[in-house]
């Protein structure tokens, strides 16, 4: 039985700013772009969350919810430096660390002999050391599987520690809302709700064959997660799945023609990024469009060459879904997984 920790800093960017300026601790604070630049909130502290503000929210809306919100630009050099400190502490506990972002990571502590092998004591040590050395509070989840550890770290935020021992997995999972499951987004959650499924206990009542019929390959994943099964290992090296670029425009692009004109520089930037990564083999292309009403659509296609004409074709189809002015435009490429690349025939 594996022992997995998921460490997740509480409102990381805001926490670093509050650490460096204690006057910010008890007032609504957000890190993000300005209203004039049509920015979005990267993160906010808990006093700001009390007003309904959250990450990825447009700054203009956040300021409407809380006019006295203190808004700071992100200092990412500083945040990366703190992240390196935290990652160093993680590696003192175990070499098997999978960073997910600057402020969170999975740790496999199955083979750690310190702390008498107690994952709970390891989590307590981790929280103490991170706070003492960096001034940042970290919430930690402890479980025998990755998806459970991640759910557990969010269970008692902020400054939480939730442990799900192996013998309590079935009880914990039974009442777990299905939207908490790894990989279940809004669309899948809506389909499950339409089937009368709200919790994992409900999900377990659906036969395996029915799940496959309804959700294809993901049906197997749902079958396993509803039973607390997640065999994904903690990976010390994360594999890049896609490469993309995007931009948010200061003024909405009013029609398809103006969006097509804005596509060329994005395609050039994507081409440069692909070159920096050694022109990896591609599985497909995609465009991402956010309209002026903040609705978002993504269109993907396989088999097209990574050329401006391909992205122009995808953009035309994506824009036709709403026929609205465009606020954000992005282009990207899905990469063929490393394992599959090794099976590709060698070029002649």
Around Cβ 210, how many Cβ atoms within 10 Å? 13
What is the C-alpha separation between 235 and 8, in angstroms, rounded? 17
CB-based contacts of 275, cutoff 8 Å, min separation 6: none
Question: CA-CA distance, 336 to 72, in Å (whole number)?
Answer: 38
Element holding 39 (H helix, E strand):
none
User: Which candidate, 180, 8, 228, places its Cα nearest to that of 106?
Assistant: 8
Q: What is the largest CA-CA distance in the chain?
A: 65
> Are the C-beta atoms of residues 174 and 228 closer than 8 Å to each other?
no
Catalytic-residue membership of 104: yes
CA distance 224 to 295: 32
CA angle (67, 64, 326) in 5-degree steps = 140
Contacts of 78 (CB under 8 A, 6+ apart): 16
Residue 83, SS3? Answer: helix
Number of H helices, E strands in the chain: 14, 12
- Cβ atoms of 327 and 292 within 8 Å: the answer is yes
φ, ψ of residue 206 to 5 degrees: the values are: -80, 130
Catalytic residue from among 98, 104, 193, 339: 104
Query: Is the CB of residue 97 less than 8 Å from the CB of residue 104?
Result: no
Bridge-partner residues for 177, per DSSP?
199
C-alpha separations of 205 from 174, 191, 195 in Å: 11, 16, 11
Residues with catalytic roles: 104
């Amino acid at each position: 039985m594996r022992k997995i920790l998921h460490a997740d800093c509480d409102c990381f960017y805001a926490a670093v700013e509050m650490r460096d300026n204690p006057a910010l601790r008890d007032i609504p604070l957000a890190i993000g772009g300005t209203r004039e630049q049509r920015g979005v909130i990267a993160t906010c502290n808990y006093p700001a969350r009390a007003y309904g503000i959250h990450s990825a929210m447009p700054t203009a809306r956040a300021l409407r919810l809380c006019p006295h919100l203190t808004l700071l630009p992100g200092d990412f050099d500083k945040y990366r430096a703190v992240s390196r400190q935290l990652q160093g502490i993680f590696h003192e506990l175990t070499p098997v660390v999978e960073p997910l972002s600057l402020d969170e990571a999975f740790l496999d502590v199955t083979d750690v002999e310190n702390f008498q092998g107690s994952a709970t004591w390891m989590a307590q040590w981790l929280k103490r050391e991170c706070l003492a050395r960096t001034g940042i509070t970290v919430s930690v989840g402890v479980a025998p599987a990755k998806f459970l550890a991640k759910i557990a770290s969010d269970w008692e935020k902020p400054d939480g520690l939730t442990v799900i021992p192996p013998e309590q997995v079935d009880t914990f999972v039974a009442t777990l809302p299905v939207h908490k499951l790894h990989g279940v987004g809004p669309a899948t959650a809506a389909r499950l709700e339409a089937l009368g499924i709200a919790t994992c206990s409900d999900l377990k009542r659906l036969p395996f064959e029915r799940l496959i019929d309804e959700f294809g390959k993901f049906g197997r994943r749902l079958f396993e997660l509803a039973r607390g099964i997640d065999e994904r290992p903690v990976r010390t090296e994360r594999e890049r799945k896609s490469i993309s670029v995007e931009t948010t425009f200061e003024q909405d692009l009013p029609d398809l023609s103006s969006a097509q004109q804005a596509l060329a520089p994005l395609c050039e930037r994507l081409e440069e990024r692909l070159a920096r990564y050694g022109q990896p083999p591609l599985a497909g292309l995609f465009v991402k469009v956010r309209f002026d009403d903040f609705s978002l659509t993504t269109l993907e296609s396989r088999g097209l060459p990574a050329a401006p004409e391909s992205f122009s074709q995808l953009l035309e189809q994506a824009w036709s879904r709403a026929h609205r002015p465009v606020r954000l435009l992005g282009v990207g490429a899905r990469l063929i997984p490393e394992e599959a690349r090794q099976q590709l025939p060698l070029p002649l």
